[in-house]
Amino acid sequence: MPFRLRDLIPEMGPISLQERARSGIGALIGILVTGLVSRAVVGDSSALPILIAPMGASSVLLFAVPASPLAQPWSILGGNLVAALVGVTAVLLIPNVYVAAAVAAGVAIALMASLKCLHPPSGAVALTAVLGGSAIHDLGYGFVLWPVLANSILLLATALVFNNLTGRTYPHRPTRAAPGRGTADPTPAARLGLSASALAAALEDYGQVLDVSPADLAAIFRRAQVHAYRPGEGAATCAEIMSKDVIGVGPDAPMKEALELMRGHHVKMLPVTDERARVLGVVTQTDLLDKTTWGAGGPRLGLRQRIRVSLSGLRAPHGVVADIMTRAVTAVRPETSIAEVVLRMTEAGLHHLPVVDGDGRLAGVVSQTDLVVALLAQATAGQPSAAPA
């Protein structure tokens, strides 16, 4: 295969300007906080190193690719500690500095891979222990605690705060499919995309470390299927198939009222909204069954909910919707395609999704029944009608 100059440039997915700015600002803040706090602890006159160079490489992972398995808390803490221990040990046992550096890097990588704390900057930590000169060598195993562990904890703490404040979930938690029903049937999400066994076999055949978790890879495949779905003109969106005359309930409404509304309107989910119709959560039949106990006096809070209510200072002797509602709501917009709705429902195991406008106000609800009817209409659109007998 002929060599091409463009082969030197790696293929990467698109990175938005916002993401580039967030990564750079995060690294700036992370290194600044780590350096300033470390300096305040040891002081200017101390012989202890304040900040080591591998932290710059760690900041790339923690702030630019925080979803990477190589950037998780155990990766930076475990990887840096292992590498520092190996590096110091290599210096003490191997007189030749180049042999010690090679052994430190190789053994550190093998141990990190075995302990599932692979962190590329840790290779530089191992070399720093060997090549850092007398200032590092004089610390002995103290180098592991300061500056390696101290710098790692400070940078990690900054990443935890910054990433979560700016909309990232860190530590990263891959999208999990809804739990099964305890039967032999696969979950709906498992029927969409590759099976877990097929993905595991493919990764084993590939035989190399990928900087992405298997769960994330499966989620990417499912999303790729949605983007590959190319319906024709007039493809349905939530705005076209959703129920618009939706019955909702307030957070302070009694649970008995929520049950009567479900029974009276033959629905299994009620959006919970405030006085401006903004969605605060949802209450479902499952919430009513799992989070309450039932007796002659009507619904009463279960033990876990009573503890939660007492801790929060609330008084709800008969229970209100706010005590049992699901607050982490998956919602869609009116312009969301039905293919995207299918994906979200299958991944989370949901039967209904609230539809909200740009201000978070309730616009409607999409149910599984709405989806079935819409998909059936698309499948039969343009099909010739049966010839009369």
pLDDT at 381: 60
Q: How confident is the model at residue 276 (pLDDT cuts 50, 70, 90)?
A: very high
Q: Which residue has the higher pLDDT, 197 or 175?
A: 197
- Is the pLDDT at 111 greater than 60? The verdict is yes
Q: Which residue has the higher pLDDT, 247 or 156?
A: 156
SS3 letters across the chain? CCCCHHHHCCCCCCCCHHHHHHHHHHHHHHHHHHHHHHHHHHCCCCCCCCCCCHHHHHHHHHHHCCCCHHHCHHHHHHHHHHHHHHHHHHHHHCCCHHHHHHHHHHHHHHHHHHCCCCCCHHHHHHHHHHHCCHHHHCCCCHHHHHHHHHHHHHHHHHHHHHHHHCCCCCCCCCCCCCCCCCCCCCCCHHHCCCCHHHHHHHHHHHCCCCCCCHHHHHHHHHHHHHHHCCCCCCCCEHHHHCECCCCCECCCCEHHHHHHHHHHHCCCEEEEECCCCEEEEEEEHHHHHHCEEEECCEEEECHHHHHHHHHHCCCCCCCEHHHHCECCCCCECCCCEHHHHHHHHHHHCCCEEEEECCCCEEEEEEEHHHHHHHHHHHHHCCCCCCCCC
Q: How confident is the model at residue 2 (pLDDT cuts 50, 70, 90)?
A: low
The average confidence (pLDDT) of the chain is 83
Q: How confident is the model at residue 315 (pLDDT cuts 50, 70, 90)?
A: very low
Q: For 207-252, what is each residue's pLDDT tens digit?
A: 887 777 787 787 777 667 656 555 544 557 899 889 899 889 999 9
